[in-house]
A and B are shown apart, each in its own frame.
Chain A
Amino acid sequence: MNQLFFIFLLVLFSLVTLSCSHDTVVNVPVFVGGGKLISAQPIKPQQLQLLNGVYDVIDGSDQFGKKVVVKRTGKTLSIFTGKNAGLFVFQCGRIDSTLIFEGYWRYTQGGETGLAQFEIPAENNGKPLLQGILPTPSFFFQGKIGNGSAEPTINITLQYNSPLKDTTFVILAHRGGGRNSDRLPESENSLGMIQLAESFGANGIEIDVRLTKDGIPILFHDENFSPRLVNGDYCVGPVSNYTFAAIRTLCTLKNKELVPTLKEALEVVVNKTTLTYVWLDIKSPEAIASAAALQQEYQKKAFAAGRKLDIYIGLSNDELVDRYKKENMVSSADALCELSMEDVRAVNAKVWAPRWTLGPLGSNAQAMHSENRKIFVWTLDQREFILPFLTQGNIDGILTNYPALIAFEYYVFQ
């Protein structure tokens, strides 16, 4: 009996160790030799913007659904599809009057990906677009895709349907752009991920802020270091046990990036993106003061650079609310509050951010709007849960792990 019990314990132990899972990154495929863009001139953003619109999928609907949204996203052109939260991200250029778009497509909820190459020939709408003439319903945006690193050979044809409505709707990308479990090419809460957020469809980001032992605010979600987020055999236990120098020495994020400071992250937001919203999800009360100081500094920098940028101190629990009040921030900083409407009022938060699991907001939304506060709902990732909120039409933004999905649903719904 003892032998059998021992083997049983061995199996138990093995089972426990078997429970670990590894998120393998899905790499972005690239064109060998740089593709055609290597010898292309840039396209002006305002010219690229003319391609914005809702398009019908003539060839490729099996893979991407019947409609897609095409949108200029910073310096890139993105296409958002409803299927599997799919997207295309194109770098753009022109050779004479032929417009070239090269990049990749990806199911952000699945991981399938491949190369993508589109063209607008000079004699077929290339010249008019460069001259500022809007596409018409007879405009076809065509190209090819491949699977993985294979050369693109599968035809995709999109037909222009309608323009995108001007909107102030906010699509916030969770953890800077996405989570490690989504196997994106950059780690969550990294500088690289922040720079990808716009091409994924976001115009804002949410980032997680913690304090190191020596009081430096860094971007990190979990309370403890673990193989889920970091590499480094000596990076274990609470983040707050480590100085910033120790973290930089001992740990990297999963894709080998350095753990960024909040200052570095806001520097990237202001200087390398056109994001307009940043939600600082503060993880400990001690971080509020330093986060608020950086909020003030970078909102001023953005203003000086002619940029619109709203940075919010996120208050997710009573401890944070109490500390925010204690630090006398109510009149000096901009807050976002996840708690009750009374708490929102108590801290004079600019944004109320209720969890989506409370359901549609009804008259509560009207009350908040009448007080000139915005409403962001979090974290919505599935179409069937998103639609009731879009249908009610009383929210100002959504925090999501799949900004491409929200962008698609929002613009097609509009």
Chain B
Amino acid sequence: MMRFVLIVALLLSFCISQLCSTERNAGPYISFPYPFQQYTLCYSIGASLTIFPRSVVEEEIRQIPMVNTSVRYGLPYNFSLITQFSTVYIINSVSAGAMWSYPLGDVSLALSDEFTYWFGFADLDGFDTQAMGLLNRPGISVGIDIDDYKITMKSEMLILFSQHTYFGSASVGKVKPEIAGVVTSAILEQDIWKSTFMSFALRAHYARPNYQVWLAFAVQDRWLLYPDVQISFVF
């Protein structure tokens, strides 16, 4: 975790040292914390891949990319509505929340909070199982706009509110708020080629067994690192 933080800090320092033009690229962005134009909409479509710790999934679960889509809608007073949807059938999530932005020249700050409802299905051999849960993700973002690039550093806490598992005719559930992890993200949004905008995100989930590995039914309480990469087209 410390290594990741140091590397991202180096990246940030490099970016700050490159600050020059105050001219802001007006291209679309999803994560960048600069206030969104009121009543305008921006969306992204992409894929993400989370690398699961081997001690949790061993050789049993193969990581496959999830399809993601995000929407951001500008509201008055520097607020934005944010929604996200990710799916790979075995695990799916729907998030909705809000962001409040505060610009400081080329640097922007934002506070955000999202509720994520996740749900998964396993009806393959040996499984007649479903699971679902509710998370809250309060976060803080810092963004720097440098020429063509918008760089965002975001830190979120994962608060697990509830989790239910259904297996055959039985079910168990837990409704007890608890801190389940923290997520640190580095996001780069830029014009790649001829006004084609893309977003590249690197995330480090440092958490108890992540909802993405619900099918592993892991019981160890240790916080482990789950790196995550996401690439999206932004419109």
Contacts and interface: CB of A to CB of B under 8 A. Distances in A.
Contact of A357 (B127, B202, B226, B227): B127
A341 to B, nearest CB: 13
A359 B202 contact: no
A362 interface: yes
B53 A21 contact: yes
A359 B229 contact: no
Closest 5 interchain pairs by CB?
A359-B168, A355-B126, A384-B172, A181-B55, A15-B227
B3 A14 contact: yes
A385 B55 contact: no
Contact of A11 (B7, B127, B225): B7
B23 interface: no
Interface string A210-249: 0000000000011110101000000000000000000000
- The size class of the interface chain A forms with chain B is 35 or more
A359 B59 contact: no
B77 interface: no
A359 B129 CA distance: 8
A273 to B, nearest CB: 26
A358 interface: yes
B168 A181 contact: no
B122 interface: yes
Contacts of B51: 16, 19
A110 B221 contact: yes
Interface string A337-348: 011000000000
B219 A18 contact: no
B14 interface: yes
Nearest to B151: A4
A184 to B, nearest CB: 12
Interface of B: 1, 3-4, 7-8, 10-11, 14-15, 18, 51, 53-56, 58-59, 122, 125-129, 148-149, 165, 167-170, 172, 174, 186, 188, 190, 200, 202, 204, 217, 219-221, 224-227, 229
B167 A359 contact: yes
B204 A15 contact: yes
A110 B222 CA distance: 8
A358 B167 contact: yes
Contacts of B59: 222-224
B168 A228 contact: no
Given A16-B51, A354-B126, A7 B11 contact: yes
A355 B124 CA distance: 12
A385 B190 contact: no
A397 interface: no
- Of listed B59, B122, B170, B225, residue having the most chain A CB within 10 A: B170
Given A182-B220, A222-B58, A339-B125, 5 more contacts: A11-B11, A14-B3, A18-B225, A109-B219, A388-B170
Nearest to A84: B221
A12 interface: yes
A355 B127 contact: yes
A264 interface: no
Contacts of A11: 7-8, 11, 186, 202
A358 B125 CA distance: 9
B164 to A, nearest CB: 11
25 contacts: A1-B190, A4-B14, A4-B188, A8-B200, A11-B11, A12-B229, A18-B225, A18-B227, A19-B227, A21-B55, A181-B56, A226-B54, A228-B58, A355-B126, A357-B129, A358-B167, A359-B129, A359-B169, A360-B168, A362-B169, A382-B217, A384-B172, A385-B165, A388-B172, A401-B219
Query: Which of A11, A180, A182 has the most C-beta atoms of chain B within 10 angstroms of its own C-beta?
Result: A11
A381 B167 contact: no
Contacts of B127: 355, 357-358
Given A1-B148, A223-B59, A359-B167, A15 B172 contact: no
A170 B221 CA distance: 27
Q: Which residue among A12, A15, A228, A385 has the maximum number of chain B CB atoms within 10 Å of its CB?
A: A15
Q: Most chain-A Cβ atoms within 10 A of its Cβ — which of B11, B15, B18?
A: B11
A304 B225 CA distance: 52
A34 B131 CA distance: 49
A8 B151 CA distance: 11
